[in-house]
Every structure is written in C-alpha cells, then in structure tokens.
C-alpha cells in the first residue's frame, strides 16, 4: 500500500478544520500523511493544527509566513514524504473513500494523474458509503482528449481537488504564486506532463459554497488574473498544438464561459462601461460558440442573452440562481 500525502493550505479557517481534517482522519485508506501548511493565520487555526498533530501521528504541521494559497501548496508538496499527492482546501472535505478510490484508479490504469469531478455543497456532512466504489464507469484519456475536456469543463477540471498527482509533476510545474486563478494557469502543464490520465465518475470532493456567494460577489482587480491565466493557456496551445483548430476552439470556449465569473462580479458592482467592452469582445466568438457541439444549449443561450442585453441577463441569472 503506497503512501499518499494530502496537502491542506490553512489560513484563518478555525471553524472549518474539523470538517476538512476530520474527513481525512476517517479515510478508509490508512497509509496517508496529512500536511497542514499554516499560512500565517491570525486566528486559532495554527493552534488547532498543532493539536491535531498531537492526536494523530499521520499529521504534520508547517507554520510559515503568509504567502498565499499557491505558496502553501508548493511548500506542502516539497515537504511530502510520498510520491503521490492530493490537495484539499481547508473549508472543503472529502468522501471517506476518496483516497482508496483514487489509488485504485491509479493502479488500474497505471497513470501519473487521476481526476474526478468536484461537487458543490452548502453544508458539511461526512459521506459514509458502504461497500466498494465501482470503477466500471471510469476511463482513460490520452493527453489531447484530456486537455479538450479541461477547456470545455467536462469531466476534467482545473481545481486540484479530487485529483491524485505523481509528485514529480507538481515539482516540475509548481503553482504560480501571488495570483488567483492559479489552478487555471498551471493545470494545462500538469495534464501535458502525462501521456494519459484516468478519469473517475465518483464525485468525492465536496466544495463548500456559502449560500448566495456567487450572485452577491463584488468586483476586485485581482479577478483580472483570469486573463493572465488564459494568456498562459493560449501560449501553451500555441507551443504544443499550433495548427490544432479544435484545441483553439476549446480555449476560446474556456475564455468566454469562465470569464462570466468576472462579468458577474462587474454586474454586482454596476460596472456597465467595462461590461460593454467584454460584450464587444465576446461577440467576436459568436460563430464558433453557437456552432460548437461541445457547448451545451443552456450555455449557448446564456451567451446569446448576454450579447443581447447584459442587464436582462443579470435579471434572469438572479432569478434562476
């Protein structure tokens, strides 16, 4: 049984550690180490981490100066004593069979990266599933197919949660520090480092979202890191697939639909002049978006409605949630 290291960046999350760390301490796969990187917390988070380490010898704690989530992740990877890495954000949690399932997929397909989807939740409830999780509906994707899936946001996401990585991939391609959308900025390289990846159909990573947090989000200039991350992705594609029209269409789809996060924040802050510029930019992709068979009808309607009227789009968005 190979050891797996799970890295949790910790910053002022004292009320959530019982759920994130608790879900790991209950894992059915026992050969794990839990690496808590206290990123300069100013609440009791660091103290709670130390307490957990005293209770469970699988837990290791590192207290560092505040440097952001990416730096904390990178430190955790560097300190890991195993060749296999998972990540967990401190306010999220895992199904208790998550590690067991990901390792089983890694062994079945002999790959260096295993991917599962995350599911959004509004509370913290530990999932206890009797019996083994089925592997039958899982699959293996080659590098090209995996990247297309990532850009379209299908079965392969950019968030590191719900994934099992060979450590050397993360050492070669660490998370960029000092920016948000760091996952989007580097996920391409993690996939491109693999000849093939395994994709599981179980949703074992529980992403905790506070009610109303999406609709009520406000604009910050930090959100513009999204465009920097997309520039990196376009450069990756130009480097590896310069003549691949399909891959470039997929990048455009990611640019448009992930960019709606910024649109929503701007709408929440009544930045209609800036939204007009985005609307004009998005109109350039009309021909490829509406004809792209990989994009759902719902997303196409969302896109067209925004082009017709951002204000009407905002009204509809708030009504449907």
253 plus 287 within the same structural domain = yes
Q: Do 154 and 23 belong together in one domain?
A: yes
CATH code for position 86: 3.90.550.10
Q: Which of 175, 208, 241 is the last residue of a domain?
A: 208
Mean pLDDT of 165-181: 97
**Do 70 and 195 have their domain in common?**
yes
Name the pLDDT band for 1 (thresholds 50, 70, 90): confident
Q: State whether 155 and 261 are in the same domain.
A: no
Judge if 204 and 232 occupy the same domain: no
Query: Is residue 163 a part of any domain in this protein?
Result: yes
Indicate whether 136 and 47 sit together in one domain: yes
Q: What is the pLDDT of residue 214?
A: 43
- State how far the alpha carbon of 43 is from the alpha carbons of 46, 47, 76, in Å: 8, 9, 21
Domain boundary among the residues 152, 179, 208 is at 208
pLDDT tens figures, 291-320: 999 999 999 999 999 999 999 999 999 888
- Residue 213: pLDDT band (50, 70, 90) is very low
Does a structural domain hold residue 162? yes
pLDDT at 209 over 90: no
Select the more confidently predicted residue: 215 or 174. Answer: 174
Residue labelled with tokens 């759920």: 19
Residue 216 within a domain = no
Shared domain check, 177 and 49: yes
Count of other CB atoms within 10 angstroms of residue 250: 24
pTM: 0.94
Sheet arrangement for strand 139-142: 59-64, 32-39, 4-10, 84-87, 163-166, 113-115, 196-199, 139-142
Span 93-97, mean pLDDT?
95
- Residue 129 pLDDT > 80: no
Record the tokens describing residue 210, joined without a space. 């506070």
pLDDT score of 211 more than 80: no
Computed over every residue of the chain, the mean pLDDT equals 94
Dist. CA 38–CA 36, nearest whole Å:
6
**213: in domain:** no
Indicate the number of domains in the chain.
2
Same domain, 165 and 136: yes
Residue bearing tokens 């999406």: 214
The domain of 31 spans 4-208
- For residue 273, tell me if it sits in a domain: yes
| pLDDT confidence of residue 217 | 66
């Amino acid at each position: 049984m190979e050891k797996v290291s799970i890295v949790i960046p910790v910053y002022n999350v004292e009320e959530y550690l019982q759920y994130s760390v608790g879900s790991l301490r209950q894992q059915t796969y026992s050969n794990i180490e839990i690496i808590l990187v206290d990123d300069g917390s100013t609440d009791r988070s660091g103290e709670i981490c130390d307490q957990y380490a005293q209770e469970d010898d699988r837990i290791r704690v590192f207290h560092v100066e505040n440097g952001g989530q990416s730096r904390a992740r990178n430190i955790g990877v560097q300190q890991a004593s195993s060749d296999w890495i998972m990540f967990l954000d401190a306010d999220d949690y895992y199904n208790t069979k998550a590690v067991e399932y990901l390792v089983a997929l890694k062994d079945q397909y002999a790959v260096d990266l295993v991917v599962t989807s995350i599911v959004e939740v509004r509370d913290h409830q530990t999932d206890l599933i009797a019996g083994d999780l089925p592997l039958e509906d899982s699959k293996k994707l080659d590098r090209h197919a995996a990247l297309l899936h990532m850009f379209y946001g299908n079965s392969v996401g950019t968030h590191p949660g719900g994934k099992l990585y060979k450590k050397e991939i993360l050492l070669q391609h660490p998370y960029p520090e000092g920016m948000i959308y760091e996952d989007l900025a580097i996920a391409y390289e993690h996939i491109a480092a693999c000849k093939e990846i395994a994709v599981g159909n179980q949703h074992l990573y529980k992403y905790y979202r506070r009610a109303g947090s999406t609709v009520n989000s406000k604009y910050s200039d930090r959100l513009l890191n999204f465009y920097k991350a997309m520039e990196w992705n376009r450069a990756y594609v130009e480097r590896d697939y310069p003549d691949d029209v399909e891959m470039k269409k997929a990048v455009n789809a990611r640019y448009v639909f992930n960019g709606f996060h910024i649109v929503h924040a701007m709408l929440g802050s009544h930045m209609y002049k800036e939204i007009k510029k985005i609307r004009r930019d998005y109109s350039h992709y009309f021909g490829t978006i509406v004809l792209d068979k990989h994009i759902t009808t719902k997303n196409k309607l969302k896109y067209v409605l925004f082009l017709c009227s951002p204000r009407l789009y905002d009204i509809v968005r708030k009504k449907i949630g």
